[in-house]
């Protein structure tokens, strides 16, 4: 069996790794290079503090995989499990409380924390900036060694990774996928995995398959280093502002992304203004520090917030996308699921692309 994976982000690499471990011949096509997609541009927040049972299960499994494969790949992912802190204002506290009940019922260690206790954990935190929060399992991973590690792990298992190789179309015969068109060549394969993140809808269109994921653009920046004082990853769900600090002291932060019409990775001044205001309100001592770098990334989100994983109406064309702003927390487990779908024909109804296909409307009523 030969499988083509489109995209060398965390989803494509974890899928390729799981398939190759089971002896499948895998080739990854990447239109640019490894860190080009969202997997090379994100803030590395990892947590099981999710709002859906399915996502909590995937996140738990993914954290276990990260722990196991660092050794296998001989790569240090710099995974600091210093906690994940969600803070909120007003009505949003109710959302967090609801999430927290679900998380606890699934064994996630999470507890409520008041703004003054937050200041004890994060010195300099302004207790007046939020009404409260919840702190639980998670932390920050450095995305680049994760990707480099997976690349090495895949290579050792014989996965061919073709950079600068944009997939431009497919060969289809009688409703069945037969090959991938790359660089004026058609490569015969048995399965194609669409792990192209924000480009997944475009790739699906090339295959004649409908996918309703939205493109989300998110901007982020690094400000100058301070002696480390922010241990947990902090996400303000009311403003969308998030902040974490690397072991080197760099303060990394951004604002949760917004829907975009195309995969656009330009940076804007508007973002910097909004982020500076939100970040300085939460942690006033960040005021006046210089921005070292800013960048943007794009990812895709499904209509119901769950990943889209499974074979489509085009036999051999498998979706592995729609991970939203949680791809780093979910993708290692998604790779295992895709391998089961391809090798065992297993179906996961909760993630199946067919859940968005509604019966055609009739005029009778
Ligand atoms: C600023 C920012 C902050 C984030 N913070 C977090 C966070 O804290 N925690 C978290 O869990 N997630 C976070 N995310 C989301 C996370 O980064 C994504 O969910 C995840 O990286 C998606 O991985 P992927 O492999 O599905 O897609 P990508 O990493 O985007 O990979 C897709 C790849 O497909 C390639 N491709 C596209 N078209 C083609 C083609 N025609 N042929 C070949 N290759 C093609 C692209 O070049 C790209 O490399 C963040 C994202 C951003 C942008």
What is the pLDDT, as a whole number, of residue 362? 44
Give percent of the chain above pLDDT 90.
97
Burial class of residue 343 in the structure, from the number of CB atoms within 10 Å of its CB (0-12 exposed, 13-18 middle, 19+ buried): middle
Number of domains forming the structure of the chain = 2
DSSP for 17-74, please give it: HHHHHTT-EEEEE-SS-TTSSGGGTS--EEES--SSHHHHHHHHHHHHHHHHHHHHHT
- CATH code of residue 172: 3.50.50.60
What pLDDT score does 357 carry? Answer: 82
- State yes or no: pLDDT of 175 exceeds 60: yes
**Do residues 221 and 341 both lie within one domain?**
no
Residue 233 CB less than 6 A away from ligand 1? no
Pairing of strands 45-47, 110-113: unpaired
Is 213 touching ligand 1 by the criterion CB < 6 Å? Answer: no
- Arithmetic mean of pLDDT, 325-343: 98
Same domain, 181 and 148: yes
Within a domain: residue 128? yes
The closest-lying atom of ligand 1 relative to the alpha carbon of residue 321 is 26
Whether 31 and 106 map to the same domain: the answer is: no
In a domain, 361, yes or no: no
| Ligand 1 probe mutation, 169, 327, 329, 331, most atoms within 8 A of CB | 327
- Do 8 and 25 belong to one domain? yes
**Residue 267 CA: distances (Å) to CA of 3, 254, 298, 327:** 36, 12, 12, 21
Tokens for 179, please give them. Answer: 């090959």
> Within a domain: residue 275?
yes
Cβ neighbours for 124, distance < 8 A, ≥ 6 positions apart: 229, 283, 284, 285
Residue 95 and residue 207 in one domain: no
Of ligand 1's listed atoms, the one at least distance from the Cα of 39 is: 21
pLDDT (tens digit per residue) in 130-153:
999 999 999 999 999 999 999 999
Q: What is the CATH number of the domain that holds 126?
A: 3.30.9.10
What gap in Å lies between CA 146 and CA 44, rounded to an integer? 10
The answer, yes or no, to whether residue 361 has pLDDT greater than 70, is: no
Boundary-marking domain end, from 285, 301, 317: 301
In a domain, 53, yes or no: no
Mark whether 116 and 208 lie in a shared domain: no
CA distance 340 to 40: 26
- pTM listed for this prediction: 0.97
Distance of alpha carbon 58 from alpha carbon 46, whole angstroms:
12
**CB 217 near ligand 1, within 6 Å:** no
Clarify whether residues 130 and 94 are in a common domain. Answer: yes
Instruction: Specify whether 36 is located in the same domain as 168.
Output: yes
Summarize the confidence of residues 294-303 as an average pLDDT: 98
**For all residues of the chain together, what is the average pLDDT?**
96
CA distances 73 to 124, 138, 194, Å, are 38, 22, 25
| 99 and 149 part of one domain | no
Q: Of all protein residues, whose CA lies closest to atom 51 belonging to ligand 1?
A: 42
258 and 231 in a common domain: yes
């Amino acid at each position: 069996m030969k499988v083509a994976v489109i995209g060398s982000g965390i989803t494509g690499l974890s899928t390729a790794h799981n398939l190759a471990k089971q002896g499948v011949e895998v080739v990854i096509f990447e239109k640019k290079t490894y860190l080009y997609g969202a997997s090379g541009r994100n803030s590395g927040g990892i947590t099981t503090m999710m709002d859906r049972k399915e996502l909590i299960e995937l996140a738990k499994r993914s954290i276990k995989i990260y722990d196991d494969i660092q050794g296998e790949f001989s790569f240090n992912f710099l995974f600091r499990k210093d906690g994940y802190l969600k803070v909120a204002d007003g009505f949003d506290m109710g959302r967090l409380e609801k999430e927290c009940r679900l998380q606890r019922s699934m064994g996630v260690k999470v507890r409520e924390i008041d703004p003054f206790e937050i200041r004890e954990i994060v010195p300099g935190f302004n207790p007046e900036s939020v009404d409260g929060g919840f702190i639980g399992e998670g932390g920050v991973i450095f995305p680049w060694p994760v990707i480099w590690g997976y690349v090495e792990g895949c290579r050792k298992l014989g996965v061919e990774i073709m950079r600068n190789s944009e997939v431009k179309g497919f060969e289809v015969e009688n409703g069945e996928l037969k090959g991938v068109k790359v660089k004026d060549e058609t490569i015969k394969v048995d399965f194609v995995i669409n792990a192209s993140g924000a480009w997944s809808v475009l790739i699906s269109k090339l295959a004649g398959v409908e996918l309703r994921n939205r493109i989300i653009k998110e901007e982020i920046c690094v400000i100058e280093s301070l002696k480390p004082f922010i241990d947990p990853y902090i996400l303000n769900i009311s403003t969308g502002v998030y902040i974490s600090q690397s072991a080197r002291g760099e303060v990394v932060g951004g604002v949760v992304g917004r829907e975009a019409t195309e995969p656009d990775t330009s940076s804007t001044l508007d973002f910097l203004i909004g982020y500076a205001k939100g970040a300085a309100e939460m942690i006033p001592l960040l005021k006046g520090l210089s921005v070292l770098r800013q960048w943007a990334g794009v990812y895709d989100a499904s209509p119901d917030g769950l990943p889209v994983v499974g074979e489509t109406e085009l036999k051999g064309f498998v979706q592995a996308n729609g991970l939203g702003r949680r791809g780093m927390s979910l993708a290692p487990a998604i790779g295992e699921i895709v391998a089961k779908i391809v090798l065992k024909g297993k179906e996961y109804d909760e993630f199946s692309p067919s859940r968005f296909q509604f019966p055609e409307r009739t005029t009778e009523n």
